[in-house]
């Protein structure tokens, strides 16, 4: 299928990206799309405007009720290229004064939420897909497109919001939760029953709440925010066509609730516990299906659902996962399918609860090779099956194992205690304080615990006391807890170069993306202290620099001018472009050539920085070396250029 790369339009929006040609089309009914936005607005992000007091969020508008406006006939309709323009007219969604003061007075300035309780201002950009879709027309190709668009700008934003129609929103949320692997930032899916711009609207609250959560809270999951509650995306299902409480998470409490303040259940967050960076799995297997069992279901109906090319089927059975065992015809069809390599997953038809093999009828399914889906929603079970089957490097047994593994918090598995429930962690300091204060009420004890445990946690981290750290961790403390300066335990141990503690924290869900009140991430701290091994570890886990190119350029030029090779190496290991310039257009190579730092020049040439860049005085690095009589550097750079020319670079 040929995908059009350009479509003529008179819109003021620019094409950010066209359809991707490197991914084969799954569904022939899928409509090729472009992503539209204001490139000039995005370019402002790369200026000297500091991130210190801002969080940055990308909003992707796919369509749906939430963005509809009244057309010429007074009817609600999704009108292309109107969402951002209309948002700018609403002062509770856009602070025009702040945007003008910080980004200039033009329509290219990004959108800014008015000041709220959270520490940072949330600045956001709205991109929309062309064409906009009713969510009932959403396909697996659209899920892949959204995932790849997030990947393309992942390092530029603190969080992401996807505006979506409600009909298939839960499917999209579940699919993205599996496709976005090792996710370290919030991705929030939202929609509405009433459009944003109507006088009475749930869309406005859903939109603003989602943007605040995406920009201000460390919840590295794909979630759904609706009617003041944030649910895990793969635990969510649509429960009403008309009520504002259109979604629910039947088998799991909300991750966050927005009241007068926003309360986040940090203990419930499913964090990546791996030393791997964010990636997108951009393949899905369409050959999956849902089969609901009902009384007197025909053999032909079951057989047709299991026929090739079907590779996996989710069975929705009675109660706790029961099947009519007297239907030997159906049981044989299921047994034959599993022997052919078809993966069958059993979930309940009930809204609440899970499948359980305590009944004979449930055990009979397990005996045929059917896998328990525990308490997964139909949306989660189907999209997980599609994801698992698309893993070409997994064999049949591995795929079955993964279907029975809690990959993204999509199911509840029974966990058996070893006798230590984590609440009696042997924190002698806390126990001593409790006794000294003669505390007896549970409320008083919890108040003191909330005051003492964080101190014990931070102290254990900086002292390298892993045993005590593990004890406190088991008590349910938020591993990304921040002190008054915004530092987490990860910031602290990175500063002190404690690589063993850094590793432990990362393996237990510490986020590399959290910034302190000065805008510094753990990676920034590692770079400032030249802890090269820790820099490599943080980058391996997905950390990236969050400073503006202008600020990095100034730092690099200053480092080269002072012969600070360690600083240049630190920034190089952190992924910085060593050709960034200062406000005068001077590159680090200019500075190194001016002062005669051969070691810095060698580092910069090894990083393949351009050697012909001219500063504002029209000087190249070689000219700087010649003027200052550093002829050895002239020879070094000339030799490097000749080598690059011979290699055709």
Looking at residue 580, what is its pLDDT?
95
Pair 115, 237 in one domain: yes
Residue with tokens 């012969």: 563
Pair 336, 455 in one domain: no
To the query of whether residue 524 is one of the catalytic residues in this protein, the response is: no
DSSP-derived 3-state class of residue 214: helix
Q: What is the CATH number of the domain that holds 486?
A: 1.25.40.20
**Domain assignment of residue 102, given as a range:** 60-274
Looking at residue 440, what is its pLDDT?
59
Pair 362, 436 in one domain: no
Q: How far apart are CA 553 and CA 548, in angstroms?
A: 9
Which residues are paired to 162 by β-bridges? 60, 189
Among 217, 245, 274, the domain-final residue is 274
Pair 167, 244 in one domain: yes
Among 239, 274, 309, the domain-final residue is 274
**Could you tell me how far CA 134 lies from the centroid of its own chain?**
24
Q: Is residue 2 part of a domain?
A: no
Is the Cα dihedral 220, 387, 26, 300 positive or negative?
A: negative
Pair 494, 602 in one domain: no
Q: Is residue 332 part of a domain?
A: yes
Q: Is residue 41 part of a domain?
A: no
Residue 352: closest CA among 255, 254, 249, 265: 249
Pair 343, 448 in one domain: no
The total number of structural domains in the chain stands at 4
**Which one from 62, 139, 166, 383 is the annotated catalytic residue?**
166
Pair 456, 567 in one domain: no
Give 10-residue mean pLDDT values along the chain (649 residues): 31 72 83 88 68 87 94 86 93 94 84 91 95 93 96 95 97 98 98 95 97 96 98 97 94 96 93 93 97 96 96 95 90 95 96 81 83 96 98 96 96 60 48 59 62 85 92 86 94 97 96 94 98 98 91 95 97 97 95 97 96 95 96 95 80
Cα-flanking dihedrals φ and ψ of residue 271, to 5°? -100, 150
Pair 127, 191 in one domain: yes
Q: How far apart are CA 578 and CA 606, in angstroms?
A: 10
Pair 299, 231 in one domain: no
For residues 555, 561, 565, 567, the Cα torsion angle rounded to the nearest 10 degrees is -10
Q: Is residue 420 part of a domain?
A: no
**Which one from 62, 65, 139, 348 is the annotated catalytic residue?**
65
Q: How far apart are CA 355 and CA 318, in angstroms?
A: 9
DSSP-derived 3-state class of residue 282: coil
Mind spelling out the 3-state secondary structure of 160-204?
EEEECCCCCHHHHHHHHHHHEECCCCCEEEECCCCCCCCCCCHHH
Q: Is residue 443 part of a domain?
A: yes
Looking at residue 51, what is its pLDDT?
61
Taking CB atoms within 8 Å and a gap of at least 24, the contacts of 29-34 are 29/137, 29/139, 30/139, 30/140, 30/141, 30/142, 31/131, 31/133, 31/137, 32/3, 32/4, 33/129, 33/130, 33/131, 33/142, 33/145, 34/7, 34/129, 34/130
Residue 83: closest CA among 56, 55, 111: 111
Looking at residue 438, what is its pLDDT?
59
Q: What angle do CA 160, 379, 231 make, to 5 degrees?
A: 45
To the query of whether residue 455 is one of the catalytic residues in this protein, the response is: no
Pair 268, 309 in one domain: no
Q: Is residue 287 part of a domain?
A: no
Is the Cα dihedral 240, 166, 181, 526 positive or negative?
A: negative
Burial of 477 (0-12, 13-18, 19+ CB in 10 A): buried
DSSP-derived 3-state class of residue 623: helix
Looking at residue 12, what is its pLDDT?
65
Q: How far apart are CA 46 and CA 468, in angstroms?
A: 43
Q: Is residue 377 part of a domain?
A: yes
Looking at residue 432, what is its pLDDT?
58
Q: What is the CATH number of the domain that holds 212?
A: 3.40.50.1170
Distance between the two ends of the chain, CA-based, in angstroms? 35
Q: Which residues are annotated as a binding site for substrate?
A: 135, 166-167
DSSP-derived 3-state class of residue 401: helix
Q: Is residue 21 part of a domain?
A: no
C-alpha distances in angstroms, 446 versus 118, 423, 441, 443? Answer: 25, 11, 9, 5
Pair 350, 392 in one domain: yes
Looking at residue 422, what is its pLDDT?
44
Which residues are paired to 124 by β-bridges? 57, 111
Pair 118, 238 in one domain: yes
DSSP-derived 3-state class of residue 342: coil
Residue with tokens 């099947």: 323
């Amino acid at each position: 299928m040929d995908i059009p790369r350009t479509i003529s339009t008179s819109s003021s929006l620019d094409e950010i990206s066209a359809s991707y040609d490197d991914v084969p089309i799954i569904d022939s009914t899928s409509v090729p799309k472009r992503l539209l936005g204001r490139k000039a607005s995005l370019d402002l992000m790369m200026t000297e405007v500091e991130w210190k007091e801002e969080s940055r969020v990308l909003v992707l508008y796919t369509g749906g009720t939430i963005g509809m406006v009244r057309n010429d006939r007074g009817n609600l309709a999704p009108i292309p290229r109107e969402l951002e323009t209309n948002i700018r007219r609403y002062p509770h969604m856009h602070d025009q004064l702040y945007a003008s003061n910080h980004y200039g007075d033009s329509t290219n300035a990004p959108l800014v939420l008015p000041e709220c309780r959270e520490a940072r201002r949330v600045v956001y950009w709205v991109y929309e897909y062309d064409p906009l879709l009713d969510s009932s027309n959403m396909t697996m190709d659209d899920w892949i497109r959204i995932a790849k668009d997030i990947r393309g700008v992942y390092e530029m934003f603190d969080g992401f919001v996807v505006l979506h129609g409600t009909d298939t929103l839960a499917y999209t949320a579940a699919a993205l939760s599996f496709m976005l692997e090792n996710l370290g930032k919030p991705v929030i899916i939202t929609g509405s029953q009433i459009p944003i711009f109507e006088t009475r609207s749930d869309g406005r609250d859903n939109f603003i709440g989602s943007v605040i959560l995406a920009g201000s809270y460390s919840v590295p999951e794909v979630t759904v925010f609706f009617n003041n509650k944030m649910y895990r995306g793969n635990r969510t299902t649509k429960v009403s066509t008309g009520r504002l409480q259109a979604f629910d998470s039947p088998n799991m409490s909300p991750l966050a609730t927005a009241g007068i303040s926003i309360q986040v259940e940090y203990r419930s967050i499913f964090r990546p516990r791996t030393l791997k960076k964010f990636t997108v799995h951009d393949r899905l297997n369409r050959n999956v299906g849902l089969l609901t069992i009902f009384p007197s279901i025909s053999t032909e109906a079951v057989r047709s659902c299991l026929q090739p090319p079907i590779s996996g089927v989710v069975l929705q059975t009675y109660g706790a996962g029961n099947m009519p065992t007297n239907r030997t015809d159906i049981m044989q069809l299921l047994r034959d399918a599993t022997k052919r390599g078809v993966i069958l997953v059993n979930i309940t038809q009930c809204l609440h609860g899970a499948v359980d093999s305590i009944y004979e009828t449930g055990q009979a399914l397990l005996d045929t090779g059917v896998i328990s889906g525990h308490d997964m929603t139909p949306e989660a079970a189907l999209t997980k099956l599609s994801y698992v089957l698309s893993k070409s490097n997994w064999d049949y047994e591995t795929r079955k194992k993964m279907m029975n593994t809690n990959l993204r918090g999509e199911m509840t598995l029974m966990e058996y205690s070893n006798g230590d429930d984590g609440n009696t962690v042997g924190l002698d300091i806390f126990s001593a304080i409790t006794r000294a204060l003669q505390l007896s009420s549970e409320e008083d004890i919890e108040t003191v615990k909330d005051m003492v445990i964080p101190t014990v946690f931070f102290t254990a981290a900086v002292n390298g006391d892993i045993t005590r750290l593990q004890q406190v961790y088991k008590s349910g403390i938020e591993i990304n807890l921040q002190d008054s300066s915004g530092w987490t335990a990860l910031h602290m141990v990175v500063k002190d170069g404690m690589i063993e503690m850094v590793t432990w924290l990362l393996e237990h869900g510490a986020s590399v993306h959290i910034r302190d009140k000065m805008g510094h991430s753990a990676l920034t701290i590692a770079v400032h202290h030249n802890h090269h091994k820790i820099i490599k570890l943080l980058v391996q886990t997905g950390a990236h620099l969050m400073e503006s190119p202008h600020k990095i350029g100034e730092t690099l030029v200053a480092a080269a001018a002072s012969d600070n090779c360690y600083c240049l190496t630190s920034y190089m290991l952190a992924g910085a472009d060593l050709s960034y310039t200062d406000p005068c257009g001077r590159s680090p190579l200019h500075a190194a050539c001016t002062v005669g730092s051969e070691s810095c020049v060698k580092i910069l040439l090894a990083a393949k920085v351009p050697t012909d860049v001219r500063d504002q005085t029209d000087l190249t690095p070689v000219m700087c070396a010649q003027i200052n009589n550093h002829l050895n550097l002239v020879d070094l750079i000339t030799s490097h250029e000749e080598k690059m020319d011979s290699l055709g670079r």
